[in-house]
Amino acid sequence: MKHARRIFQAGSLAFTLWAVFVLGSNAERWCPFGGVEAVYTYATEGNLVCSLGISNFYILGAVILTVLLLRRAFCGYACPIGTISEWLGALASRSGLRARRASPKLDRILSLGKYLVLAAILAATWQLGELVFRGYCPAYALLSRHGPDITFRAYVVAGGILVASLLVTIPFCRWLCPLAAVFNPFSRFGLGRIKRDEAACLRCGRCAESCPMAIPVDQLPQVTVSRCLSCLNCIYVCPKDKQQALFWGPPNRLGRAWPPATVAVVLLLCGGAAVAAAYLAPMPSYVKSRGIRPDQIAVVELRIQGLTCRGRASLLVSFLERDDMYRIPGPSADAPGYYRLEAWPDPNKAVLRVSFDPKAADKEVITRAIVEPYYDMSQNRWWMSPFLIDDYSIPTLGQ
Amino acid sequence: MQTKWIIPALLAITVASLSTVAQAGTAAESFAEGEKSLAKGEFDRALQSFAAATRAEKGNQEYAQHHAIVRRVVDLRGRLETEKNPQRWEYMARALRAFYVNERIYSEMLKLDQVIHKRLNSAESAAMLAETQLAMDQNLDAARTLSALESDKTTETTRLLLGIAQTRNGKTEEAKRIAEQVHLPKDADSSLMYTAARLHAAVGDSGKATMLLKACFENTLPSLLDGFKSHAKTCPEFAGIATTPEFLAVLKTESKLPESKCSGGSSCAGCPMRGQCPKSLGNSK
């Protein structure tokens, strides 16, 4: 069982690499931190930051659930950066490079770094509505297809973290990871914990020495600190010649010890549930409503090319709100012919659902509003539509 | 057994490839025909050619966009004469004019500007008409259009354009006096700065002309900058300084305004994904 975590880490990393490089999946759409970055714009505007999807929320929810059950087991078992960083540290150690340990005081000070990083990212992302951190994100640099959107800065940060991992045990995870800063408040209330039998403990200190997060396991009756990765290293190194001193499981009143495989099972179940939810309940990642809900509503669903991201969805709205297409009688002559727009932007074919008042518009008008060029009088310029709708071509005049 | 399928398969592939190449060739020819017709102001023929190009090569977005906009222009031209609603009429007229400006169809622009000016009789409509007249080298007409404006209707733009027209008409002293009298507001837009730069270049103040031109380029949206630069290269007022190092350096000025290629606003200007977006997105004409 000692190597079970390494096997899980390897499997998780291999799965991620296969999904990104073989299947061509967008790694960002499955990043739990993306959910954190997107929450503000989704709550205030009903749409997601460019290039993120609703899957980010599902995966964030699933990971927070694992944190509530297993503390930061996600970091210790599934996070690719954690895995790579930890393996580099182990490699360095085998090569004779002894990892340095910060003093507890320095460790505490450095640990505050992740909260500063989180605050800076959230402030910038929420203010600008863009993934500002991506230009520096080591995970994106290592786990994307290295397209033109990868900045040199991201490679520098990733390289710095890799080098630092050879010298210090998982420095990014301990001191800088903004996702860890999000997890910690939840992890504090995590169900699973390491419990120490005072009577059986030899106080040899091996458990504390083996802890990658520098938790003084040998001095605590039970480990409830938020940074615990549930790696169970402490249990594996605990001398068993006399009597087992360390156990892992729920609080004492809730029962006995858990088998180590519990971690893998919970992580797989939660991850699988998030993926299933993303496919079975694909909430739109861009929503916009306008005006008062009409008495009657008609809905048209279109498959559309060119609706790649939030910026494009904003452009689509400006086409849909054009003032040269609709002829609506009555006082609301300037109102657009739609009431609500729901979109699932996608680099390939996106889905768009438009709800509209059948008295004000019809499918033909909605479609033409999206694909036909539009003259914007305020800017005195024509906008060409970059959108193509399946099975629709601009009719010739007179049709 | 297997070899008997190879030759038909190869033949089928060859025929399909040749047909695709031929179609692409036809599409390109139709598109070129359309552009020629458009330049001559033959809109119906241009529309037919663009429609043929789009049909021949369905996935080509450039063809589809040309077809779409010319179709829209033909539609607007047809409706302009009968439109009763003044606001809608103005919208249609301005839309048509913006298209003619982009395509440099001056003959149509002149006709339209005359109608617009007759109907609106404003400083703006006079400026538009005078600009077109200047572009068509009808400098006396341009001066007449601007001079006919009542004094309370004149603006910086009309005064600057009058100065340009008078320079071309040989009345340089009057143009110099206008150049000295016009004071640009602090929030002058790029088009006003550009017109001022033209006048200063025309009256020989190359230093002020290049300074204003630089400020104009810096305050122009990136998507509109090429249009200004290309006009500056061929503009008669800049002909005297076009080969100077200062002017050539100014032509390299970049815009200082943020602009999103996706939404047309500034919100996506810093989007790290913008490099992956297709080139055609958010194209404006």
pLDDT in tens, B166-189: 999 999 999 999 999 998 998 899
Considering A228, A251, A280, which residue would you say is the last residue of a domain?
Answer: A280
Cβ–Cβ below 8 Å for A147 and B271: no
Considering A280, A307, A330, which residue would you say is the last residue of a domain?
Answer: A280
Residues A273, A311 within the same domain: no
Closest-approach residue (CA) in chain B for A127: B267
Q: Is residue A218 part of a domain?
A: no
Cβ–Cβ below 8 Å for B284 and A311: no
Q: Is residue A201 part of a domain?
A: no
pLDDT at A355: 92
Cβ–Cβ below 8 Å for B267 and A385: no
Residues A268, A305 within the same domain: no
Contacts of A375 in chain B (CB under 8 A): 91, 94-95, 98-99
Among the partner-chain residues A51, A134, A382, the one whose CB lies closest to the CB of B69 is A382
Quote the distance between the C-alpha of residue B124 and its chain's center: 17
Residues A270, A313 within the same domain: no
Concatenating the DSSP letter of every residue in A82-135 gives HHHHHHHHHHHHHTT-PPB---HHHHHHHHTHHHHHHHHHHHHHHHHSS-GGGG
Please give the single-letter amino acid code of residue B73. V
The answer to whether A127 faces chain B, any CB pair under 8 Å, is no
Closest-approach residue (CA) in chain A for B97: A380
pLDDT per residue, tens digit, chain B (285 aa), is 556 777 778 877 777 776 666 666 688 999 999 999 999 999 999 999 999 998 888 778 788 889 989 998 998 999 898 988 888 899 899 999 999 998 999 999 999 999 999 999 999 999 999 999 999 999 999 999 999 999 899 999 999 999 999 999 999 999 999 999 998 998 899 999 999 999 999 999 999 999 999 999 999 988 889 889 999 999 999 999 999 999 999 999 998 886 655 544 444 444 444 444 444 343 344
- Residue A270's pLDDT band (cuts 50, 70, 90): very high
The whole-angstrom separation of Cα B168 and Cα B126 is 18
Residues A268, A342 within the same domain: no
CB atoms inside a 10 Å sphere around CB A101: 12
Q: Which stretch of DSSP H or E encloses residue B160?
A: helix B156-168
Residues A35, A182 within the same domain: yes
Are the C-beta atoms of residues A234 and A247 closer than 8 Å to each other? no
Task: Average the pLDDT over each of A114-118, A145-149, A217-221, B64-68 and give the range with the smallest value.
Answer: A145-149
Residues A272, A290 within the same domain: no
Task: Average the pLDDT over each of A105-114, A281-290, B142-151, B158-167 and give the range with the smallest value.
Answer: A281-290
pLDDT at A149: 66
Contacts of A347 in chain B (CB under 8 A): 276
pLDDT at B270: 43
> What is the average pLDDT value for chain A, to the nearest integer?
85
Contacts of B280 in chain A (CB under 8 A): 384, 386
Are the C-beta atoms of residues A298 and B244 closer than 8 Å to each other? no
Contacts of B72 in chain A (CB under 8 A): 372-373
| Domain limits for position A300 | 286-389
More confident residue, A150 or A93: A93
Q: Which two tokens stand for residue B264?
A: 């047309």
Q: Is residue A382 part of a domain?
A: yes
The arithmetic mean of pLDDT across residues A132-160, rounded, is 83
A394: which DSSP letter?
A: P
- Residue A1's pLDDT band (cuts 50, 70, 90): low
What is the ipTM for the molecules in this complex? Answer: 0.76
pLDDT digits (tens, 9 = 90+) for A236-246: 999 876 677 89
- Percentage with pLDDT > 90 across chain A: 41
Cβ–Cβ below 8 Å for B281 and A375: no
Residues in B whose CB is inside 8 Å of some CB of A read 47, 51, 54, 58, 61, 64-65, 67-69, 71-72, 74-75, 91, 94-95, 98-99, 102, 224, 260-265, 267-268, 270-278, 280-285
Query: Cα–Cα–Cα angle for A387, A282, A358, nearest 5°?
Result: 55
pLDDT digits (tens, 9 = 90+) for A26-62: 778 889 999 998 888 788 877 777 678 888 999 999 9
The whole-angstrom separation of Cα A199 and Cα A202 is 8
> In the predicted model, is pLDDT for residue A395 greater than 70?
no
Closest-approach residue (CA) in chain B for A326: B88
> In the predicted model, is pLDDT for residue A253 greater than 60?
yes
Cβ–Cβ below 8 Å for A388 and B260: no
Q: Is residue A125 part of a domain?
A: yes
Q: Is residue A237 part of a domain?
A: no
Are the C-beta atoms of residues A180 and A112 closer than 8 Å to each other? no
pLDDT at A254: 65
Q: Is residue A114 part of a domain?
A: yes
Among the partner-chain residues A373, A375, A380, the one whose CB lies closest to the CB of B65 is A373
A48: which DSSP letter?
A: P
pLDDT at A333: 40
Q: How many helices (H) and strands (E) does chain B have?
A: 13, 0
- Burial label, A351 (beta-carbon count in 10 A; 0-12, 13-18, 19+): middle
Residues A270, A366 within the same domain: no
Q: Is residue A181 part of a domain?
A: yes
Half-sphere exposure of A159 (CA within 13 A, CB side): 6
pLDDT at B23: 62
pLDDT at B146: 96
- Helix, strand and coil content of chain B, in percent to the nearest 5, comes to 70, 0, 30
Residues, chain B? 285
Residues A29, A104 within the same domain: yes
Residues A366, A276 within the same domain: no
Q: Is residue A126 part of a domain?
A: yes
The answer to whether A96 faces chain B, any CB pair under 8 Å, is no
Closest-approach residue (CA) in chain A for B78: A397
CB atoms inside a 10 Å sphere around CB A224: 16
Residues A266, A325 within the same domain: no
The whole-angstrom separation of Cα A298 and Cα A158 is 50
- Residue A332's pLDDT band (cuts 50, 70, 90): very low
pLDDT digits (tens, 9 = 90+) for B125-140: 999 999 999 999 999 9
Are the C-beta atoms of residues A243 and A200 closer than 8 Å to each other? yes
Contacts of A393 in chain B (CB under 8 A): 54, 58, 64
Q: Which stretch of DSSP H or E encloses residue A40?
A: helix A32-45
Residues 6+ apart with CB under 8 A from A153: A135, A136
Residues A373, A272 within the same domain: no
> In the predicted model, is pLDDT for residue A330 greater than 50?
no
Residues A306, A325 within the same domain: yes
Contacts of A45 in chain B (CB under 8 A): none
The whole-angstrom separation of Cα B285 and Cα A128 is 28
The whole-angstrom separation of Cα A172 and Cα A101 is 14
pLDDT digits (tens, 9 = 90+) for A334-357: 445 688 899 988 777 889 999 988
Are the C-beta atoms of residues A180 and A75 closer than 8 Å to each other? yes
* Domains in chain A, number: 2
The answer to whether A105 faces chain B, any CB pair under 8 Å, is no
Q: How far is A137 from chain B (nearest CA, A)?
A: 12
Are the C-beta atoms of residues B272 and A134 closer than 8 Å to each other? yes
